[in-house]
Structure 1
Amino acid sequence: MARSMGIPAIVGAGEKADEIADGDLLLIDGAAGEVVAQPDEQTLADFAERQKADAAHRAMLAQYKDKEGATSDGRRVIIEGNIGTPDDAVRVAELGGEGVGLFRSEFLFMDRTDLPSEEEQFAAYKKACEIMQGKPVIIRTLDIGGDKEVPALALEQEQNPFLGYRAIRICLNQPELFLIQLRALLRAAQYGDLRIMFPMISSVDEVRDAKQVLEQAKDMLTAEGVPFNSNVKVGIMVEIPVAAVCADVLAKEVDFFSIGTNDLIQYSCAVDRINEKISYLYRPLHPGVLRLIAMTAKAANENGIEVGVCGEMAGTAGMAPVLCGLGVTNLSMSASAMLAAKADLAKHSYDECRELADKLLACASASDAERIFTDWRES
């Protein structure tokens, strides 16, 4: 959230933060992960130079605001923004986003003691569509559980919450909750290119069951005479390894894929991404992860549907050409990363992106892939 608002932030400081006293002057470099307390004059001067260089870099990136995401030879990669509230869409639009690739609707449900009504949800989704003025707005249905809690649902504590009762599993188990959200989404879809995305899909059965509830919502609105858009595109998150493996089957059921790399890496590498003790095992460039992404993209391309990435990997510096080379057609990220992604793509041809991706896919280890990626970035 800090990144989406353009605020420098540091996490995981641990006991080192205890050394900072109230009233201390702090210098924060969010890009380098560096905090300096009570800096001396030389350090202040160094940081001032960094700020000047950063401002110059931002000025350079501004030229991409009104440009489409594309490689140097015109291969299109749609660059979109991730948002948590309708107001976040303003920054996506201001920074040249080509749409909203992920609206995390769970933020409407969190930090409150009651559930949002259909009208409240409708107003939020409608506002995001209106802000984006006809550009795609992909709204992920309620994705709670794991590290996200909704007090109003009073979910039981679980031993393995990331593998438990969460996301689409909750919605299919509580269709009355799901129907309220789907009704609001269908109604808001009259005001823009709203698309519905189901999270944490692990089988075709779940997709079909979710689509059946969507049809039920349409029937209810029709019977009540409530206006809505019946031709809404439906997609799924590919974030569980079996979904990537079965992408060729799933692609026949939906209009688009969005690869949630945060969870895909977590599940495929069996590493809790918020556990500092094992964070070194969380490797986006692990060849196995890259192969799952390539497999998903291949299935999507062969079935004529878009395939995006909406996890942190999409907005990581230099990663846009890699994902383009793997066959990804859309990248969604924090608004603050969009211009840099466009700039990264514009530096390289599609063939160069493919060549890099092929080298990474052929690696025996994440370390080898990271070394190749770093050398490529610095060349």
Structure 2
Amino acid sequence: MKGLGTSVGIGIGKVLIYKEPEIKISKNSISDSEQEIERLNQSIHKAIMEIDNIYNITLEKVGQPEAEIFAAHKMILEDPEYISAIKEKILTGNVNSEWAVREITNSYISLFQEMEDEYLRARAVDIKDVSDRVLKILLNIETKDLSLINRETIIVARDLTPSDTAQINKDMVVGIVTEIGGRTSHTSIMARTMNIPAICGVKDITDIVKEDDLMIINGSTGDIIVNPTVNEVISYRKEKEDLDKLRKELEKLKGQESISKDGYKVELAGNIGTLQDIDKVIENDGEGVGLYRTEFLYMYNDKLPTEEEQFEAYKIVAERLKGKPLVIRTLDVGGDKDIPYLNIPKEMNPFLGYRAIRFCLDNKEIFITQVRAILRASTYGNVKIMFPMISNIEELRESKLIVEGVKEELRKENIEFNENIEIGIMVEIPAVAIHSRQFAKEVDFFSIGTNDLIQYTLAVDRGNQKISNLYNQFHPAILSLIKMTIDNGHKEGIWVGMCGEVAGDEKLIPILLAMGLDEFSMSASSILKARHLIRNTSKKEIEEKLDYILDLSTADEVEKYIDENIISNDLDI
């Protein structure tokens, strides 16, 4: 069997099939709606107390960023709009609390599930998790306590909620396999943080395996073996020992340079979306932040964040980095990132529509507010501005003019900022990659956004499961566009980074190094492994193979060549 590996490592243990208790709800008429609302209030109060407890457990066992998931859960139960809608349903319909909670929650979940971005779709899980907690309290339903697991266990479930994952005994849970989910689901994120191997997307796994089956999982490849042979167990135990040894070795790389065997130095940075993410970048010895996704400041708000709120957020990150680079991407909204209060109209092709820099140039007050906040924060660290979704030179020039206008305003107001702040663009549209020599004359840096570059180049909606097999980072056309962008940037004397998922791809890191990529920005948990790969790679040796690789016909041929001629031969991993 095979699924999507979302947290690396080898897990060997007995299966525990975890099924959420069924929550059956019927619609009942009530005679005293005020008494019913009091019943709801008591259940919400108890749910908040439970969430506070889980927050503290997660803070102690996992860390601050993951604990913030439960702070967000608490905010849902304290959201006056959400709770008022439930109470209104009770009052106007004279219905029971359970029915009202389910009805209102379903409408919220539907809103999130319609979003194309995997990260945002996964947030529907938060709302369901919170509402299910309230419903179980209302219905007096008890659940299995995963903290009591006392033997080496692989949890097999349709899905695990953040609450489930937070409470597992991480000393005894050696793997997680779920039928649904992806790399950005909370289960995967928390599994990676706790160093628990995880595999998602294994259809009907809860019906295929039995309780107490022996199972082996490989969180890197997605491979699953049920009731393995003795030789398979011995082989995978050896592989697990090697991986555990490597993990300990990686810790020794903290404080070391990210430099190839033949002396080519690069920068390994982290991608962040919230203030909490910066802790993981620092913990993993990141050499800066190559992508600050500022849209989360807008998404976790019910109104536009003020200049002061944004300034404080950017300032905190800049100060925490102590002079290391901080690349702040301006608002990337629209497409798959719907923010209700912005009232962006629904479109047939949102990825190709009214989004990112297009929205900002059409809503200059919002854009100017953000630019002011970024410029003000630039005196507190090594801050850079990056524009997303640029498709032509005119957009870039207009964006730069706005920055210059804001600079002039700040000068008049005697507000300090970095006069020489670097300005760059995301290279995520094929037209920009092809025309990159001309764009490079107008900016200080490029950051290649491979997630969208692959999607646009191959005409594959990366959120569409039916054609997900066509979305492939090894496609020779993708690699050619990346190399073209790097070469053109260097010809004009600017540095070139990458902030898409490909930057942390273990097979492609040596290729990108050989192409001359200056900065790799990735999830914090990948930084030390990337440093290990780079320090064990000779740029010159791989460089000599680039022409051959780029001349291959298919993605499979590229990946096979890398497996057989680069990873196995050049890297001691």
Q: State the TM-score, normalized to the length of structure 1.
A: 0.91
Aligned with 1:296 (options 485, 497, 504)? 485
Within 5 A, what are the aligned runs for 1:194-273? 194-273=383-462
The question of whether the paired residues in 2 share the 8 Å contact of 1:80 and 1:333 is answered with yes
The question of whether the paired residues in 2 share the 8 Å contact of 1:259 and 1:293 is answered with yes
Aligned with 2:358 (options 169, 173, 186)? 169
Flag structure 2 segments of 5+ consecutive residues without an equivalent: 1-183
Code of the aligned partner of 1:6: T
The question of whether the paired residues in 1 share the 8 Å contact of 2:267 and 2:519 is answered with yes
* RMSD, aligned α-carbons: 2.7
Q: What is aligned with 1:378?
A: 568
Count residues with an aligned counterpart: 377
Whole-Å separation in 1 of the counterparts to 2:224 and 2:316: 38
Q: Give the CA deviation at 1:246.
A: 0.6
Q: Give the CA deviation at 1:32.
A: 3.3
Change (3 A) 1:15 1:165: farther
- 1:90 corresponds to 2:279: yes
Whole-Å separation in 1 of the counterparts to 2:450 and 2:492: 21
- 1:106 corresponds to 2:295: yes
Whole-Å separation in 1 of the counterparts to 2:479 and 2:242: 33
Q: What is aligned with 2:63?
A: none
Whole-Å separation in 2 of the counterparts to 1:254 and 1:25: 56
Whole-Å separation in 1 of the counterparts to 2:387 and 2:250: 33
Within 5 A, what are the aligned runs for 1:322-333? 322-333=511-522
Q: What is aligned with 1:364?
A: 553
Cα deviations across residues 38-86 of structure 1 (Å, max 9, x unaligned)? x99x999998776654332211112222112111011112111111112
Q: What is aligned with 1:310?
A: 499
The question of whether the paired residues in 1 share the 8 Å contact of 2:273 and 2:294 is answered with yes
Whole-Å separation in 1 of the counterparts to 2:415 and 2:336: 36
Whole-Å separation in 2 of the counterparts to 1:255 and 1:9: 40
Change (3 A) 1:336 1:223: same
Q: Give the CA deviation at 1:29.
A: 5.3
Q: What is aligned with 2:468?
A: 279
- 1:115 corresponds to 2:304: yes
The question of whether the paired residues in 2 share the 8 Å contact of 1:83 and 1:89 is answered with yes
- 1:125 corresponds to 2:125: no
Greater shift, 340-349 or 44-53, is seen at 44-53
Within 5 A, what are the aligned runs for 1:129-140? 129-140=318-329
Change (3 A) 1:222 1:242: same
The question of whether the paired residues in 2 share the 8 Å contact of 1:320 and 1:345 is answered with yes
Code of the aligned partner of 1:170: F
Residue 497 of structure 2: SS of its match in structure 1?
Answer: strand
Aligned with 1:6 (options 172, 190, 193)? 193
Greater shift, 273-282 or 180-189, is seen at 273-282
Change (3 A) 1:25 1:197: farther
Whole-Å separation in 1 of the counterparts to 2:253 and 2:347: 46
Q: Give the CA deviation at 1:353.
A: 2.3
Q: Give the CA deviation at 1:3.
A: 4.7
Greater relative contact order (Cα 8 A, min sep 6): structure 1 or 2? 1
Residue 64 of structure 1: SS of its match in structure 2?
Answer: coil
Code of the aligned partner of 1:64: L
Residue 252 of structure 2: SS of its match in structure 1?
Answer: helix
The question of whether the paired residues in 2 share the 8 Å contact of 1:101 and 1:138 is answered with yes
Cα deviations across residues 182-217 of structure 1 (Å, max 9, x unaligned)? 000000000000000000111111110100111121
Flag structure 1 segments of 5+ consecutive residues without an equivalent: none
Whole-Å separation in 1 of the counterparts to 2:330 and 2:234: 47
Greater shift, 200-209 or 358-367, is seen at 358-367
Q: Give the CA deviation at 1:364.
A: 1.6
Cα deviations across residues 208-247 of structure 1 (Å, max 9, x unaligned)? 0100111121122222232222221000000000000110
| Structure label with greater radius of gyration | 2
Whole-Å separation in 2 of the counterparts to 1:241 and 1:134: 33
Whole-Å separation in 1 of the counterparts to 2:295 and 2:495: 24
The question of whether the paired residues in 2 share the 8 Å contact of 1:322 and 1:356 is answered with no
Cα deviations across residues 102-139 of structure 1 (Å, max 9, x unaligned)? 11111111133211111111111111111111000001
- 1:71 corresponds to 2:260: yes
Whole-Å separation in 1 of the counterparts to 2:553 and 2:216: 40
Q: What is aligned with 2:222?
A: 33
Q: Give the CA deviation at 1:96.
A: 1.5
Residue 277 of structure 1: SS of its match in structure 2?
Answer: helix
The question of whether the paired residues in 1 share the 8 Å contact of 2:486 and 2:496 is answered with yes
Whole-Å separation in 2 of the counterparts to 1:214 and 1:61: 41
The question of whether the paired residues in 1 share the 8 Å contact of 2:479 and 2:550 is answered with yes
Whole-Å separation in 1 of the counterparts to 2:428 and 2:480: 13
Change (3 A) 1:276 1:17: farther
